[in-house]
Structure 1
């Protein structure tokens, strides 16, 4: 059996829809939920904290920055204030590496567990660049995350190379070409992989039921793959 947790992002505008989706996937056996705060209409710090408390299940609080595919319309200070407010009820708080250092520190100083993330929807950086990104993330938070877009199959193999060399790291090759990396990640003991509900929040996400089945198949030796 795999140790990688399957996370389902919830990308809904209204609290009622968020709670309904959460209940549905908790019943289906999801390991962790990701609340995309940037999808919520006019989110307020106390409201987000209340929603996570009401879900009452391990949840990643994510308020994605626009430059990395997010939709939050407020200021950076407001974006981070929401994450800081819910830091004591979320399992993890996701904050982007490119966020201002002082704002990241304000999250880390709460003592919550953090995912420090980086997304590139256009390309896959060279391996050395990705290793440097993950190194910086690991120095800040509990889990490093990098999600990049492949232009060729070799790019997807390079993402697996990151997983093979870095602990406590989520490394994803996006799009259809890279979708298999979301499954193979479990063979490298990646802490979390992301599947889709009815909300596809990144290119190449696999639906939850399929992901759950695939993660329980012992169908590949990753040492042979990288030889």
Structure 2
């Protein structure tokens, strides 16, 4: 029997890639437990005969079911003929609540007439980019006979592509239409996935397992619910975020959203990946953002983009925190204070020789902070001229990479991105690692960086970058929301828990 059109449509959809029946069954059960109301079974991901029994399993768990078989040209894995794909979808149509098929498929009309139970989702996927005007696509998809829902998914090549989907959804919602699903793919499209429901999309798609995303930029269902609480973002929700390149590794969304929840603050903190700061700036005013964090490589450029700088940001020449106030952007730097605090808890630095690797925004903050504490700072950077300029500004000494093997120092601080993408990358040769303490600003989820492992193997004390992340994030929280001691205490506890750090009693 065809599903009643008055039944609730899917909203929180978990995509399942059935690489094996047992793995897919577990992913479906995981999605149901996490709070999904629907699952999308990607039949094109099955290595052998599609496990259509999984649709029945999902229905027994109370989930709506969507079956699709995505072609290679649309970002899927199905490389067979259209007749074979149609046969597969027809079989699925007797079990699923919805069948998702591209509107340009020549088999669309036959499939529509053959489905005994399922309703149709007419979709369009553009892997080349995001057209400036998506409304012609809406009109074309709505002309598909029998389409219960229409879906437009495009590749985000620029952060501003998120605004294209938002503007489309706002216009459609203004016409009291709730049949459109719309968002962007790719890491740059992540904001549109998080905000799609708030903007008026009929549904959002998330990975049943974070290990098996169905498309680029698809975040996990658990993260969508536990970190971003996507279904509860409303018109009064304040938006914050982090801009950098890359940002997928960042724990900042997890810790800031945990802090917002712990203090009852209606706000969300989102990741924005941008190679150039210029593509991010329009979103600050368009979304709008109440404030944001800045990470590598944009901290120095961000200082130039602010309308006003506080004392630390002005002196350091880098911004890692911005506050939007009355149409103006005020820049702050919490890296120096937040980064020095964990170090000073471990040992005094006055008179110590400190090797600082890097000359970017974070390194600038440490160069100034260490100078204020009376340390003797040695700066080494891949670009020697940058190290020399920073050393000249802060009264430090620039050193070359070929000097590191013979250099004597007590403290090593890594302020380069080495280790973020390649877990085995070192910022200097293993033979040059020495001293009493190694402090790596890079952190990895659930494991130490190779630099810290190498240091620990030599009996050197190590300091994890998560401690700096915590301290500077608390300073950001205070800038954005105000100096409320009870709220700050709850925020610290929530952030420590999200980072897996033991609570510290001051």
| Same fold? TM cut 0.5 | yes
Q: Which runs of 4+ in 1 moved over 6 A?
A: none
Measure the CA separation in 1 of the matches of 2:120 and 2:184.
21
The aligned counterpart of 1:83 is 89
- Report how far residue 209 of structure 1 moved: 2.1
- Report how far residue 220 of structure 1 moved: 4.8
Pairwise mapping of residues 168-187 of structure 1 onto structure 2 (< 5 A)? 168-187=179-198
Pairwise mapping of residues 141-160 of structure 1 onto structure 2 (< 5 A)? 141-160=147-166
Measure the CA separation in 2 of the matches of 1:126 and 1:43.
40
The aligned counterpart of 1:55 is 58
- Report how far residue 107 of structure 1 moved: 2.1
- Report how far residue 132 of structure 1 moved: 1.4
Measure the CA separation in 2 of the matches of 1:42 and 1:210.
30
The aligned counterpart of 1:189 is 200
Pairwise mapping of residues 105-124 of structure 1 onto structure 2 (< 5 A)? 105-109=109-113, 110=115, 112-124=118-130
Q: Is this contact kept in 1: 2:195–2:233, CA < 8 A?
A: no
Asked if 1:42 corresponds to 2:48, the answer is: yes
Could you say what secondary structure the match of 1:170 adopts? strand
TM-score of the aligned structures, taking structure 1 as reference length: 0.86
Q: Is this contact kept in 2: 1:4–1:186, CA < 8 A?
A: no
Asked if 1:74 corresponds to 2:85, the answer is: no
User: Which structure has more RCO (C-alpha within 8 Å, separation ≥ 6)?
Assistant: 1
Could you say what secondary structure the match of 2:143 adopts? helix
Measure the CA separation in 2 of the matches of 1:203 and 1:73.
19
Measure the CA separation in 2 of the matches of 1:16 and 1:157.
39
Measure the CA separation in 1 of the matches of 2:24 and 2:156.
31
Alpha-carbon distance change, 180 to 226 in structure 1, aligned in 2, over 3 angstroms: closer
Alpha-carbon distance change, 188 to 217 in structure 1, aligned in 2, over 3 angstroms: closer
Q: Is this contact kept in 2: 1:34–1:61, CA < 8 A?
A: yes
The aligned counterpart of 2:396 is none
Q: Is this contact kept in 2: 1:124–1:150, CA < 8 A?
A: yes
Q: Is this contact kept in 1: 2:66–2:97, CA < 8 A?
A: yes
Measure the CA separation in 2 of the matches of 1:226 and 1:24.
33
Q: Where does structure 2 lack aligned partners over 5 or more consecutive residues?
A: 1-8, 240-284, 289-506
Q: Is this contact kept in 1: 2:10–2:38, CA < 8 A?
A: no
- Report how far residue 119 of structure 1 moved: 1.1
Q: Is this contact kept in 2: 1:37–1:63, CA < 8 A?
A: yes
TM-score of the aligned structures, taking structure 2 as reference length: 0.40
The aligned counterpart of 2:141 is 137
The aligned counterpart of 2:217 is 204
Q: Is this contact kept in 2: 1:84–1:106, CA < 8 A?
A: no
Alpha-carbon distance change, 4 to 184 in structure 1, aligned in 2, over 3 angstroms: farther
Q: Is this contact kept in 2: 1:35–1:60, CA < 8 A?
A: yes
CA deviation string 1:142-186 (max 9, x = no partner):
111111112223322111122122331111112222211112211
Could you say what secondary structure the match of 2:88 adopts? helix
Asked if 1:17 corresponds to 2:23, the answer is: yes
CA deviation string 1:65-113 (max 9, x = no partner):
111011113211110111111213212100011211xx11122222631
- Report how far residue 124 of structure 1 moved: 0.8
